[in-house]
């Protein structure tokens, strides 16, 4: 267990989902300024689905993310600005533009079994002089050995850090432990963890990851993230402080900005409700929910049964047509 953890705040990227990608320049400026004051080392700014995510399919951003990145860079003299890039949604050109605007870290995200599509993007990030992170999404969907292989690919492409990403909030502490432990035994680079709170264990999982040697952790102030939100950053800083682990972050300043700047922006608080719990329990992306609800009505089945079956079949984003098949199958039973 390291006595120093380096945090990345994701409220301005993952949290973008929670506010339907409606961040304004003023909001980004005031959030980044206060995070910078609180000495948060990295702040991720992008559409919820990464650079280039603004679209009818993923949700249109209110403001061009490049403008938001520019605003973030302009008010942060301590915090480094990071961007998320999902190859296939974002492009190399997007990455170059973000770099030109002052972004210092590129987080290249792929499904846990598809690390090979990150090669070009990780290499480009390094050529541009950025820190490069490999971000293995839906990590609960692959066996530990596969996760390790995929992480190794990202390390080989030049990633400085590889993250275990629990996109659906479906992992439990003992599962996080075995994943981080296996990576720790195999990789040379730093290991990170990104949790979601759908099963109320974002913090428990984060502590489990740290116990096994993860040193890079994502959090979002006031849980501002997809599903039930992420590991709550200001709470994590308090917990790590109690454990004698340093983050370099000013706890009071972070608590104050969470309460005074972020909470008022939230359209609704990040509770674990029936929907977000179902997503974590089923282990599927939150984007499936609406489709599953529609199919449930059409075939008179419980949408939870659909989502659980989708999770069992390891259906991922892009395979939304399977939702009707699964619903029809359940109705025939």
The residues annotated with a catalytic role in the active site are: 17
Determine whether the annotation assigns residue 14 to a binding site: yes
Q: What is the DSSP string of 77-103?
A: SSSEEEEEE-BTTB-HHHHHHHHHHT-
User: Which residue lies nearer to a copy of itself by CB, 107 or 140?
Assistant: 140
In terms of residues, how long is the chain?
333
Q: How many residues bind a copy of itself (CB under 8 A)?
A: 45
Residue 238 interacts with a copy of itself (CB under 8 A): yes or no: yes
* Residue closest to 183 by CA, chosen among 206, 153, 205: 153
Angle at 121 (CA atoms; ends 186, 136), nearest 5 degrees: 45
Closest to a copy of itself by CB, 88 or 143: 143
Distance between CA 230 and CA 202 in Å, rounded?
A: 6
- Give least dist CB 181 to a copy of itself, A: 16
For 73, residues 6+ apart whose C-beta sits below 8 A from its C-beta are: 81, 101, 102, 103
Least distance CB 235 / a copy of itself (angstroms): 5
d(CA 280, CA 284): 7
Residue 47 annotated in ligand binding? no
Separation between Cα atoms, residue 292 and residue 119, nearest integer Å: 34
CA dihedral 24, 130, 145, 323 (to 10 degrees): 30
Q: Which is nearer to a copy of itself, 83 or 180 (CB)?
A: 180
Residues of this chain, 174-193, that bind a copy of itself according to CB under 8 A: 174
Site for a copy of itself in 197-226 (CB under 8 A): 197, 199-205, 207-208, 211, 222-223
Q: Which stretch binds a copy of itself (CB under 8 A): 21-29, 48-56, 91-99, 195-203?
A: 195-203
CB-count burial class (<10 Å; 0-12, 13-18, 19+) for 268? exposed
Q: Is 331 in the site for a copy of itself (CB under 8 A)?
A: no
Q: Is 274 a binder of a copy of itself (CB under 8 A)?
A: yes
- Which of 173, 213, 248, 329 binds a copy of itself (CB under 8 A)? It is 173
Nearer to a copy of itself, 98 or 208 (CB): 208
Binding site members for Mn(2+)? 14, 194, 196
Binding site for a copy of itself (CB under 8 A): 172-174, 197, 199-205, 207-208, 211, 222-223, 231-232, 234-236, 238-239, 241-243, 252, 255-256, 258-259, 263, 268-274, 277-278, 280-281, 302, 304
């Amino acid at each position: 267990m390291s006595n120093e953890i380096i945090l990345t705040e994701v409220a301005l990227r993952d949290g973008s989902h929670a506010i339907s990608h409606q961040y304004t320049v003023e909001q980004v400026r005031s959030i980044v300024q206060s995070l910078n004051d609180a000495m948060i080392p990295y702040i991720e700014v992008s559409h919820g689905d990464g650079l280039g995510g603004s679209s009818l399919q993923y949700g249109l951003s209110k403001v061009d993310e490049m403008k938001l990145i520019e605003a973030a860079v302009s008010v942060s003299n301590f915090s480094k600005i990071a961007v998320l890039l999902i190859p296939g949604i974002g492009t190399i050109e997007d990455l170059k533009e973000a770099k030109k605007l002052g972004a210092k870290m590129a987080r290249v995200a792929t499904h846990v079994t598809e690390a090979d599509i990150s090669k070009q993007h990780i290499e480009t990030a390094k050529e541009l002089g950025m820190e490069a992170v490999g971000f293995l999404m839906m990590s609960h969907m692959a066996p530990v050995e596969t996760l390790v292989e995929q992480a190794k690919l990202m390390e080989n492409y030049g990633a400085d850090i590889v993250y275990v990403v629990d996109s659906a909030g479906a992992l439990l502490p003992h599962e996080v432990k075995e994943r981080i432990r296996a990576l720790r035994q195999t990789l040379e680079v730093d290991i990170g963890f990104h949790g979601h709170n759908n099963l109320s264990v974002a913090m428990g999982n984060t502590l489990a990851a740290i116990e096994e040697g993860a040193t890079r952790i994502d959090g979002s102030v006031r849980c501002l993230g997809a599903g039930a939100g992420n590991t709550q950053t200001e709470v994590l800083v308090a917990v790590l402080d109690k454990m004698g682990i340093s983050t370099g972050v000013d706890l009071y300043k972070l608590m104050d900005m969470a309460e005074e700047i972020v909470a008022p922006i939230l359209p609704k608080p990040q509770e674990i409700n029936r929907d977000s719990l179902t997503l974590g329990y089923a282990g599927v992306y939150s984007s499936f929910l609406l489709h599953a609800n529609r199919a449930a009505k059409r075939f008179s089945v419980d949408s939870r049964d659909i989502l659980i079956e989708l999770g069992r079949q390891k259906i991922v984003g892009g395979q939304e047509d399977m939702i009707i098949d699964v619903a029809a199958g359940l109705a025939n039973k």
